[in-house]
Structure formats: C-alpha cells, structure tokens
Amino acid sequence: MTISRREALARSIAVVVGLGQSRPGFLSVSGIGLAAPALRRAGLDTEAVAASTEPPSAPQIREFALTVGRVRWELAPGEVVEAYAYNGQVPGRELRVQEGDTVRVRVTNTLAEPTTVHWHGVSVPQHMDGVPGLSHEPIPTGGTFTYEFVATPAGTRWYHPHINELAQTGGGLAAPLIIEPREPTSTLSREYVVMAQQWTKPGRPMTGGHEADETDRFTVNGKAYPYSPPLVVRQGERVRLRLINAGTTATQVFALAGHPLTVTHTDGNPLRVPVSADAVPLGVGERADVEFLASTPGRWQLGSVASGHAERGLAVDVVYEGHEADSVQKPTLADLQLVGYSAMTSGQLPTAKPDREFELVLSQSRTDPAVWTINGATYPVIEPLVVRPGERIRVRLINMSMDDHPMHLHGHTYQIVAVGDRPVAGPFMDNLTLRHMDSYDIEFVAANAGRWLFHCHNLEHMMGGLMTEVQYR
C-alpha cells in the first residue's frame, strides 16, 4: 500500500501527539527540547505543513546535549533513590531521529567517576561505541566527549553507559534512541515507548542464580507501578508499544491484560510477517515493537508476568479515555501463549555457505557460580572471533547453563538462521535471548571494521566474564 506524503505526515503527527501524552511527568523537564525537532519534522508548524507535499527531507545533522549526573529520584511517592541520570531525568532524554541523519551528542560528565555512552543496536563507527579500552577513553569527571554517527539501521535502539554498568545502568542511566525510517510506513494511531528498568543497589550480593535479587525494584518510564504514567488510548486506535528491557539481570515477560499483542519488530528490526502472542519475553537489552487494537474499553495492566516483577514495579496501565476510574484488570497467567523466535520470519534463508564459522558454548563455572564461561574461557582471557572485512560469519550459540543469556553483538545486526539444527529465515536482532539449553545459529556480514564486544547483557554475567570480541584483521 502506498500512502501520500500528507497522509503519512498526518499519521506521524498522531504518533508525536501520542508520545507527548505518554509521559506527562517528563513534559516540563524535557518536552520542549525533545519534542520540537520531532514536531517540526512531523509538520506541526505551518512552514513544515506548507512544505509537506515536498519529497522527504534530506538527512539532517541533529545535535543533542546530555549531562550525566546524580539526582534524587522518586521511584514511588516517598521512595527516593540517589539515581544516576541523563539531564536529571529517568529514563534519560529520548532521542528521536530519522535514518541517515547525522547524530551529534555532546556528553558532559558531572559524575565523580568516569562514564561512556554505548549506542545499543546502532551501527556506529568503532571509536563511537563507548567501550573503554576498545573504542575510546572513558569521559573523566568534568570532561566532555562528542559522539557522532549516522543513524542506522532504523528501529528501537537505546543508549546506556559501558563502564561500571551494574551501578550506573542499575542506578538509572538508560534512555531510548528511536531511529524512524525516512519514509513513514506505519498506519498506527498512537505510539508509546515503554522502558523497563531494574534498580540494583550497589554492593548487593551477586545472585549467581537465575532469579533477580529479590530486593531489586522495577520501574516503567521512571516510576514503579502503580505510579508509572498511564498509557492513554482511545477505542478503535491501533497502538504501537516499543518495549525495551533496560534492566540489569532479569528477563521480563510482557503481557497486556485483555488484549493479544502482535509482534512487528525484534530489536527494532521488522519481521516479514507480524506474529501474535499473549506474552513477549525480553532478555536484558532486548526490544520488541508490539501493536494492539484498542478494542475493549477499560483500564488494563501491561506488565511483566515474570514472578513478582509487576508487584515490585514492572507494570503500567493502559487506560482508555473516559475509563480512568475503572478498576484495573491484570493479565491472567493461565494458558499464556509466549512468542518464540522460531515462530518469527524475516529476510531469506542463507543460500551460500558462510565464509567462517564459530561455535560458542555458554556455561556457568562449576566452582564459582559468579564466573561465566564461553567455551570454558572467561573474558578477557579468551580467544576473539577473528574475521575479515566482507566475510559472512556464522556463529552457533549453545546455552548449557540454567540462566537466560541475552547475547548482544556491538556494531552489527545479525539474523537467526537456525533454531537448533533446523535452518530458518529468522528475525534480525542484536540481542537474542537464549534460554536454558537453547541453541541458535546466527549470521552477520563483517561490514563494520574494528573490535566489537559480543557479550551477555545480564550485567552480572557480563561482569562475570560472559563476553568475547569480534576482531577484524
């Protein structure tokens, strides 16, 4: 279906308006700076509307400033933590750009410790990747660094530090980075970003097990349920939720009471055929774009059905206009149909044999449960995956441990090409989550030279050594 430019703009206006309403708590802090470029682009000022019959604008340079600091943040009324924050807010400022734009972000560090920014899911050049020792020097106390990269590929991305992660990300530092396709394609009425965070107290014992520490708190868009700002919808609307697990250790399983979800994107990348499900599991770092039809007026809880997580804050209400006073319906746990990667298709089955193959077996050390291994080795004493530019690389991932491992590759997007031994034209991702005994083959093209981390995004596993590197030679 082709839609006119004007229609597309009208739709994106609705999207922007929806976003404005989605985070009322943030408008005073960030609404102006955040929304203005998007509003301009969406044609909300007269000049842009007049220009709306023009072909899509050329890529632009988009400049942003972020200050990293500490702030007293209220997770819930009376429950204040000494948070880490971008521009004094949690989650940090949403950056919304179009694919192909040049993004320039001047980051000032006011923390008493160094920090960096990693642009998760973006094909940035190596020296903009935010990994100390690999990409660039950390930004010292009082220092600034300007990140610059071309926004690609389009999709739901996010950003966070890549140093002292358990304290910094577990203390609030995370924010959405939305790269819109240059040509709007969607027929949605409304969109919300749903960023789930897990608050991890510094110095709490490493769990080494498969449950999040029972004292960790959760928030959605900065507040713990029932204080998370409700997602307001109108009957008849088609609504997109960009779900982001920006936590520290826990896999979340998102469900919306009373409404089946349709998964359209994995880690921001489009599926060929949307897949419907009652519940969508997301490991740490992983994203899913889901849609639902607002067909049943009321007040419905969207939250994690992972045990105890909604109770500790990981939920938000979807509220139909006029139904603010309804009593809330929670997702039922009986007969929940979870969506899995094996039900998802995208791209093509690979036709040629890969140029290079690796096998990575992920395990927990038998002697020390806080230590994690890849083929028996622990980062940094580990053999990197050495590749050459232009090669097609296949990696078999096998999870021999009891825990989930959300495996994130920096600087590249990969495709799932086998589930176990069964070849598939699977989804494109950068952060697939292997559950106990799962095995997947993934493929990517070595098209971004450098040294890139490939690691488990469970921050305890990562710090426990479940990490390797892809090195171009």
* Residue 367, burial from CB neighbour count under 10 angstroms (0-12, 13-18, 19+): exposed
Residue range at the interface with Cu ion (CB under 5 A); choices 229-237, 295-303, 335-343, 458-466: 458-466
Answer for the pair 147, 128: CB distance below 8 angstroms, yes or no: yes
Residue 229, C-beta contacts closer than 8 angstroms, at least 6 positions apart: 22, 23, 24, 25, 221, 222, 223, 316
Residue 135 interaction partner, one of Cu ion, ligand C2O, none, beta carbon < 5-8 Å per kind: none
Identify which of 235, 375, 247, 394 has the alpha carbon closest to the alpha carbon of residue 319: 235
Residue 76, number of CB atoms within 10 A of its CB:
15
- Give the one residue of 93, 96, 405, 410 binding Cu ion; rule: CB under 5 A: 405
The region of 11-19, 188-196, 226-234, 457-465 touching Cu ion under the rule CB under 5 A is: 457-465
Q: Any long-range contacts for 436-439 (C-beta under 8 Å, 24+ apart)?
A: 436/399, 436/401, 436/402, 436/403, 436/404, 437/399, 437/400, 438/397, 438/398, 438/399, 439/396, 439/397, 439/398, 439/399
Task: Say whether 145 sits in a helix, a strand or coil.
Answer: strand
Exactly one of 458, 459, 467, 468 binds Cu ion (CB under 5 A); that residue is 458
| Binding positions for ligand C2O, 392-421, rule CB under 6 A | 408, 410
- Measured in degrees and rounded to the nearest 5, phi and psi for residue 128 equal -110, 10
In the numeric block, which tokens belong to residue 216? 């960790």
Taking CB within 5 to 8 Å according to partner kind, which of Cu ion, ligand C2O, none is near residue 453?
ligand C2O
Phi, psi values for residue 378, rounded to 5°: -125, 130
Residue 461 touching ligand C2O (CB under 6 A): no
For the CB of residue 455, give the shortest distance to ligand C2O in the complex, in Å.
Answer: 6
Residue 193: CB minimum distance to ligand C2O, A:
16
| Positions in 238-297 near ligand C2O (CB under 6 A) | 285
Residues 150-189 that bind ligand C2O (CB under 6 A): 160, 162
The item of Cu ion, ligand C2O, none sharing an interface with residue 285, based on CB under 5 to 8 Å by kind, is ligand C2O
Task: Select the binding partner of residue 223 from Cu ion, ligand C2O, none (C-beta < 5 to 8 A, by kind).
Answer: none
Strands 175-180 and 95-98: parallel
Nearer to ligand C2O, 405 or 455 (CB): 455
Task: Write out the binding residues for ligand C2O, residues 109-128 only, by CB under 6 A.
Answer: 118, 120
Helical ranges in 294-429 per DSSP H: none
Residue nearer to ligand C2O on the CB measure, 163 or 302? 163
Return the one option of ligand C2O, Cu ion, none that residue 240 interacts with (CB less than 5 to 8 A, by type): none
Residue numbers 436-455 binding ligand C2O by CB under 6 A: 453, 455
Strand order in the sheet with 299-304: 231-233, 315-320, 299-304, 252-256, 279-282
Position 330, amino acid: K
Contacted entry of ligand C2O, Cu ion, none for residue 461, CB cut-off 5 to 8 Å set by kind: Cu ion
Stretch of 184-192, 293-301, 373-381, 448-456 contacting Cu ion, by CB under 5 A: 448-456
Distance between terminal CA atoms of the chain?
Answer: 44
Q: Which residues bind Cu ion (CB under 5 A)?
A: 405, 456, 458, 461
Q: Which residues bind ligand C2O (CB under 6 A)?
A: 118, 120, 160, 162, 285, 408, 410, 453, 455, 457
